[in-house]
Structure 1
Amino acid sequence: MLALLVFAVVWVGIRGFLAVGELQAAVPLAQAAQKQVVAGDAEAAQKSADELAGHAASAASLTGDPIWRGAEVLPGIGPNLQVMRVVSSSVDRIARDAVVPLASSAGSIDLAAFAPTNGAVDLQSMVDLQQPMHGARVAFDSADAALATVASAPVIGPLADARDELTALVADGGATVTALDNAVRLLPAMLGASGSRDTLLLFQNNAELRSLGGSPSALALVHADGGTVSMVQQADSGDFPKFSPTVVELPIETRALWGDNTASYIQDVNFTPQFPLAATIAREMWKRQFGTEVQSVVAVDPVTLSYLLRATGPITLTTGEVLSSENAVQFLLSDVYRNYAVGQQDSVFADAAAKTFAALTAGGLDSKALIEALAQAGTERRILIWNADPQEQAILADTTLAGGLPVSDEQTQNFGVYFNDMTGSKMDPYLDVQLGVGTVTCRNDGLPNYEIVVKLTNTAPADAATSLPTYVTGGGEYGTPPGSIRTSVHVYSAQGTYNLGVMLNGEPTGYHPTSDTGYTLSKVVSMLAPGESAEYRFGFLGGSAGEKDTRLESTPLVYTPETLGVALSCESALW
């Protein structure tokens, strides 16, 4: 028995030492293969990938034999061996099922394929990537799930650092691969690979906030056929009547929260934070007004346009202004209201949209910058996509592009904070927003308390009532004094949680507790004069014992909101 024990220790020790060497050799090869795949250097990428796969397979083999698995039950050393095995097998899985297939396709991977040239996109390049990209996604998902099983295993410091570093790399790489997998599966269909396709573009104006971004100030119809894309029609909110009765039958909770205007006015379709509903309404309004039933609806905002201008370079408007990635947001959400009469503003927005679209489809743009711009806008929820085809829409499920309500799971509690302009103005570039979330458990039953902090400040000049145009301030037409900002704030918790109330600057305040499609939520309405601030604290009680990681998603604003640190204790918690 003693001899067997000594043999096992030596066996595991030697194989563990060898496995560490194999993994150390694999790291630089993985980095090299990634760069070579992106560069389209097929020969070099294949060589690096094959070497990587060899080292990774060796590490997995060295840590996966029966003696090693049997030693994993030993106290102390066992968890370390288990983590070593899972790390090795995860690297092997990614190398075998992700890196090697993608390296084999490196010759056909060309970032320029994702960018139009002369109004057309090469769809075949995307189709050729569908199989290897989806296989890579499955590999990353499997590795991520395996690493999650040993995330909290008590292991020695160096191994813990390696595990955590690999987990972070797999998460980041998996997010990129998932996004690309979604793109190569969805874009060919949306660009007319199987026949002509019409898409409605909504340009959301963040100067007048809506839950999903901003009031749709300009719209366009984009026609695609076989990868050839053209903008065939433009309209603005003034081209639509008030529809009575509503164009769709609204859910009872939606009507209670935002009224029938959501399905009566094109400017208000995105009061709801559920983009599938907003897109369905906008699609029906466009069909009734212009006769075309689109298959997709895509929403973007001026901030997205500024990101895209990094790829296209500056554009010159018909009026002579030059828009760049640095000045587009300032011009479109502020300067245009000072420089042009109300009747001219919509035409300026339409011209900016058309010129940007023309620059994007003409060719010659920076493909890498285009992909980075789209990725950033997507992460910030500035691009939203809805497809009438359920199978196509399913590809977007659980991504930020789908524009659904926040989804929580066993590890994460997600909250949504949504803003709607109630001033009837374009004052929201002056609305400074700070957001934070904290949690603490003080109850004997283990249910956690959550607090979401929303701090709002009106940064408009003290003389905003007279120094800003009436169209910007609203002129008091809807009951808000010129210069003030009136905003509704809806904070969505998760299904199964409990509403605990709202504090305003440390004191209880009136609020509207309600629900939406099963989500618990609280609503308040803020009114701020120039220079005023308000700090709201929304309280919720978890529906099950145990604290989770907390995350916030919010309405995409003109600027990215500052994140507040929220440290709660049982003594400081307001509930």
Structure 2
Amino acid sequence: MGTNDKSVSHEEDSPVTGPARRRRRYVLAGTGILALAVVGWFGYSAWDVQHNLTGARNNAQLAKNSLLSGDTEGARNAAAEAADQAENAQVSLHSAPWRQLAGIPGVGAPFGSIQKMSDVVVGLTRDVLAPAVETGTALSPGDLISDGGKVKLQPLRDAAPALKQTSLAARALADQAHQVPDAGYLGLVDDARSELQNQTDDVAKLLKNTAIGADILPAMLGADGPRNYFMAFQTNAEARGTGGLVGGYGIIRANDGEAHVDTLGKNTEVSYEHQPLNLGSDFNGLYGSYNPSTDIRNSNLSTHFPYAGQIWQSLWEQESGERVDGAIATDPVALSYVLGAVGPITMPDGEVVDAGNVVELTESTAYIRYAGTSDTEIVANNVARKTYLQTIAAKVVEKMTGNIESPALLLDAVGKAVNERRIAVWSAHPEEQAILAGTPLGHTVPEDDAPYASVVVNNNAGNKLDYYLSREIDYTASTCTGDTRTSEVTVRLTNNLPAGDYPRYVAGTYNNRQVPPGTNVAMISLLATRGAKLNKATVNGKPAFTVSGNELGHPVFSIPTTVPRGETVELHYALTEPAAPGAARVPVQPLVDDPKVSVNVTACGG
């Protein structure tokens, strides 16, 4: 065919198909432009949402930090900015296009999650941060604590009702954050969800603790008249249920927000010739043979701190004629946290005690420094050592109740000690104790049916080897398929005493047991879930002798145990327990080590 051959068909020349094809092209082009516009809008909208949510979260954190540092104006500005950003994000996320996208099965999961997260952030800024800022002084340690360590009680008391409501709102929002669904295929959204959950949990915990403090601290610190408290200094180099042996004590006197310690004493100065306190048949069955209510050295064998508080109150009243309003206990590890916040102390001989050396000094070095070989030397040096330890404790308390450069750091240190159960408080006033019992300060055994495994070490040798003890605790239970389920609690104890010669007071046994020096001799008790039955107990795989009892409705299974120097001993409890609702709890006895604790217990319904 030639170049002029017209036999080839060209659709664009067709009078019918040409315009139709052009219209289709215009439609497709228009649709593409619209699609690009929609994608562009979603892209910009997503960026704007992310920008606002991130800004709201950061400003919320800034508002919290500003409050705690005493910058009320900065907190107010940050809270207002957070509220604006959160509301902007919420408006975008609840627009019609976002709602439609979130509703698409599978595809919409992350968008639905982001919507719900924005609702939480709006609630956090509107219902929590804004009212919290208005409390001002109550949340600002710098404003709350004046020079000299006096606590301003009236502002704290005035803020109590508002703090209670704000605390409830914060807890509700934290729960709401934990109900935000998975984002599906977008891991970044799940990461943001986890950050939001952690942030709301932190805020809820802070406000709960502050609300509790505002509720009970004014009265406990003498707003309505003087208060007196027995303060026990526990040495957890010799383990007891609440932490360690009471080596010394003091009486704290509080009035109108000021507190000081006086009447320092040693445990040897408390007479054993007092009338016993009746704490019930279960308590007597477990601990009665140790004379816990008349021998202060055994007064805190139970991990339930209110028992120790009542015993100390009874002993001090019989000793002095004064009835204290409550009891407080602490230990050298808690003192190290406090010294990290307030700075070192200087002893009368010039020795500097600080956060880095106070634990070793009080739990190890002092026992070697004040040793002795003859009975006479041992007695004299024992008195000198207790005086040394008392002086350290008194100087730390004196410093933390004096001029404080950073009240916020001190409160952080105290909070860390409380969370590790290294500070315990009991009040003789029932309305205050009812509140304390539900906090980490209460150090109580819970009277409910939820899964529970509390492992308690009580030194049975009168030595100081628990300074070298390390623990591993594992609590595992089968699934909830019936009224009961099997469970196992495994405890590994390692005696890390280094090689060398040690004074009898450190590594020997008070009753000359036939064990090599350096052997840790202890009674290991498991407080199990209410209604639990022990099927079998073993030590290093061999059947173990077990002593049974009850504590506040919990069965107690105790195994006398020896742990040779440098060795690990494994105790295993095989149980059948009720498939009770509630999260499993494994409280950690506050000794020197930081134990490894693992929990694999499914929460049953109910």
Provide TM-score, normalisation by structure 2: 0.81
Aligned twin of 1:493: 528
Cross-structure match for 1:544? 579
Task: State the match for 2:176 in structure 1.
Answer: 146
Q: How does 1:198-213 map to 2 (within 5 A)?
A: 198-213=228-243
- Partner residue in 2 for 1:420: 458
**Map of 1:4 onto structure 2:** none
3-state secondary structure, aligned to 1:524? strand
Give 1:479's match in structure 2, choosing from 513, 538, 541. Answer: 513
Equivalent in 514, 520, 524 of residue 555 of structure 2: 520
1:432 aligned partner: 470
**Which whole-Å CA distance do the structure 2 matches of 1:206 and 1:312 have between them?**
23
Q: In structure 2, which of residues 387, 398, 404 is the aligned counterpart of residue 347 of structure 1?
A: 387
Residue 249 of structure 1 is matched in structure 2 by 278
Asked whether the equivalents of residues 110 and 182 of structure 2 are also in contact (C-alpha less than 8 Å), the reply is no
Structure 1: 5+ residue runs without aligned partners? 1-9, 569-575
Report the Cα distance in structure 2 between the residues aligned to 1:151 and 1:420, rounded to whole angstroms. 45
Superposition deviation, residue 105 in structure 1: 4.1
Structure 1 pair 39–263 and aligned structure 2 pair: CA distance change class (3 A): closer
Residue identity matched to 1:552: V
Q: CA 1:109–1:398 in structure 2 vs 1: closer, same or farther (change >3 Å)?
A: closer
Matched-pair contact (CA < 8 Å) for 1:223–1:229: yes
Alignment correspondent of 1:361: 401
Task: Work out the CA distance in 2 between the residues paired with 1:407 and 1:67.
Answer: 52
Work out which of the residue numbers 291, 294, 297 in structure 2 matches 1:264. 294
Q: Which residue in the other structure is 1:395 paired with?
A: 435
Aligned to 2:227: 197
Q: Is the 8 A contact 2:137 2:143 kept in 1?
A: no
**Alpha carbons of structure 1 residues 61 and 511: separation in structure 2 relative to 1, 3 Å:** farther
| Superimposed CA distance per residue, residues 399-433 of structure 1 (whole angstroms, 9 cap, x where no aligned partner) | 211011257787xx442111101002222212222
Q: 1:405 to 1:42 in 2, by over 3 A?
A: same
Q: Distance in 1 between matches of 2:401 and 2:537?
A: 48
Match of 1:323 in 2: 353
User: Which of 138, 147, 170 pairs up with 2:200?
Assistant: 170
Q: Which residue of 2 aligns with 1:459?
A: 496
SS at structure 1 position matched to 2:525 = strand
Contact 2:538 2:572 in 1 (8 A): yes
2: distance between equivalents of 1:320 and 1:109?
A: 38
Deviations 1:71-120 (A, max 9, x none): 99986578767644542332222211221122334477542345563353
Conserved? CA contact 2:447–2:552, under 8 Å: no
- Residue 43 of structure 1 deviates from its aligned partner by 2.9
> Matches of residues 54-453 of structure 1 in structure 2 within 5 Å?
54-59=84-89, 76=106, 83-106=113-136, 110-113=140-143, 115=145, 117-118=147-148, 120-150=150-180, 157-243=187-273, 245-246=275-276, 248-260=277-289, 261-340=291-370, 341-405=381-445, 413-441=451-479, 445=482, 448-453=485-490
C-alpha spacing 1:453/1:46, structure 2 compared with 1 (3 Å): same
1:53 aligned to which of 47, 70, 83: 83
Aligned amino acid, residue 427 of structure 1: L
**Offset of residue 22 of structure 1:** 4.4
* Structure-2 residue corresponding to 1:529: 564
> CA 1:241 to 1:325, structure 2 compared with 1: closer, same or farther past 3 Å?
same
Q: Aligned letter for 2:177?
A: L
Q: Is the contact made by 2:469 and 2:593 (CA closer than 8 Å) also made in structure 1?
A: no
Structure 1 residues 493 and 73, CA, compared in 2 at 3 Å: closer, same or farther?
farther
Write out per-residue CA displacement over residues 432-490 of structure 1, whole angstroms, 9 at most, x where no aligned residue. 2223333444x964854433221112222455xxx222222345525363322111111
- Count residues in correspondence: 549
Structure 2, unaligned runs of 5 or more: 1-37, 371-380, 602-606
Superimposed CA distance per residue, residues 369-417 of structure 1 (whole angstroms, 9 cap, x where no aligned partner): 211210110011000011112222233232211011257787xx44211
1:111-155: CA deviation from partner (whole Å, max 9, x where unpaired): 234556335333344335434433331121111222344457968
From the superposition, tell whether residues 69 and 239 of structure 1 become closer, same or farther in structure 2 (CA, over 3 Å). farther
Whole-angstrom CA distance in 2 between matches of 1:540 and 1:302: 36
**Partner secondary structure for residue 270 of structure 1:** coil
8 A Cα contact 1:515 1:521, kept in partner: yes
Q: Find the counterpart in structure 2 of residue 571 from structure 1.
A: none
8 Å CA contact retained: 1:254, 1:516: yes
TM-score norm. by structure 1 comes to 0.85
CA displacement at 1:319 relative to structure 2: 4.2
Cα 1:444–1:364 change in 2 (3 A) is closer
* CA spacing shift, 1:342–1:40, aligned 2, 3 Å: closer
The corresponding residue for 1:573 is: none
**SS in structure 2 of the partner of residue 552 of structure 1:** coil
Task: Give distance in 2, aligned partners of 1:435 and 1:249.
Answer: 33
In structure 1, the residue corresponding to 2:454 is in which secondary structure? Answer: strand
Q: Say whether the 8 Å CA contact 2:70–2:143 is kept in structure 1.
A: no
RMSD: 3.4
User: Relative to structure 2, which stretch is displaced further, 349-358 or 77-86?
Assistant: 77-86
Counterpart Cα distance in 1 of 2:179 and 2:134: 31
Q: Distance in 2 between matches of 1:182 and 1:216?
A: 28
Match of 2:591 among 545, 557, 562: 557
In structure 1, C-alpha distance between the alignment counterparts of 2:71 and 2:524, rounded to whole Å? 51
Contact 2:137–2:155, Cα closer than 8 Å, also in 1:
no
Equivalent position to 1:469, from 487, 503, 506:
503
The residue that corresponds to 1:504 in the other structure is 539
Residue 51 and residue 196 in structure 1: after superposition, are their counterparts in 2 closer, same or farther (change >3 A)?
same
What SS is found at the alignment partner of 1:435? strand
User: Helix, strand or coil: the match of 2:292?
Assistant: helix
Q: Matches of 2:158 and 2:580 in 1, distance apart?
A: 47
Partners of 2:45 and 2:452 lie apart in 1 by 40
Instruction: Give the direction of change, closer, same or farther, for the CA distance of 1:438–1:40 in structure 2 (3 Å limit).
Output: same
C-alpha distance 81-394 of structure 1, shift in aligned 2 (>3 A): farther
Match of 1:6 in 2: none
Secondary structure class of the residue paired with 2:538: strand
Identity %: 28
Match of 2:30 in 1: none
Q: How far apart are 1:288 and its partner, in Å?
A: 0.9
In structure 2, C-alpha distance between the alignment counterparts of 1:450 and 1:244, rounded to whole Å: 43
